[in-house]
Amino acid sequence: MKVLIDANILLDVFQKRSPHYEKSALIWKLCEVRKITGYISVLTFMNMVYIMRKELSSEMINNVYKALALIFNFEDLTEDDVKNALEMQLKDFEDAVQIQTARRIGASIVITRNVKDFMKSPIPAYTPEEFLNRIDTEQS
């Protein structure tokens, strides 16, 4: 299963944000062991670096990128992603770009803690907990 991972999931793990760390780390682990195929938009990586800029040196940014690249597939941002996102006229443009990236790569799901901003998405969005419950149900 191909999933697009939103920045808040990665930040939960990097910053050990409570109470979200545990479930987000499980999503990360599913990608690491290849039970699901995790994609990260380059926009997500750029946003993460911006959010964590006070915590990261240039060397650390490089190390974060390399660590993520071992587990996740990075997906470029295209001009069509931006154009299609603009046409969606969502309140949060970055989420619209994520939706368009997910659509273009054929992702089945977007994993985010911000599901309310993905209500108009043709790709369903789940929180880590919802996704993990769904997988448990499918495997039962």
Residue 18's domain comprises: 2-139
83-133: pLDDT as tens digits: 999 999 999 999 999 999 999 999 999 999 999 999 989 999 999 999 999
Read off the pTM.
0.91
What's the number of domains the chain is made of? 1
CA angle 53, 95, 33 (to 5 degrees): 75
CATH of the domain at 19: 3.40.50.1010
Q: What is the mean pLDDT of residues 68-76?
A: 96
Is the pLDDT at 80 greater than 80? The verdict is yes
Q: What is the mean pLDDT of residues 67-87?
A: 96
Q: What is the DSSP-derived secondary structure letter of residue 30?
A: H
The chain-wide mean pLDDT, for the chain, equals: 93
Query: H/E element holding 75?
Result: strand 73-75
13-29: pLDDT as tens digits: 999 999 999 999 999 99
Query: What pLDDT band is residue 76 in, cutting at 50, 70 and 90?
Result: very high
What's the confidence (pLDDT) of residue 128? 97
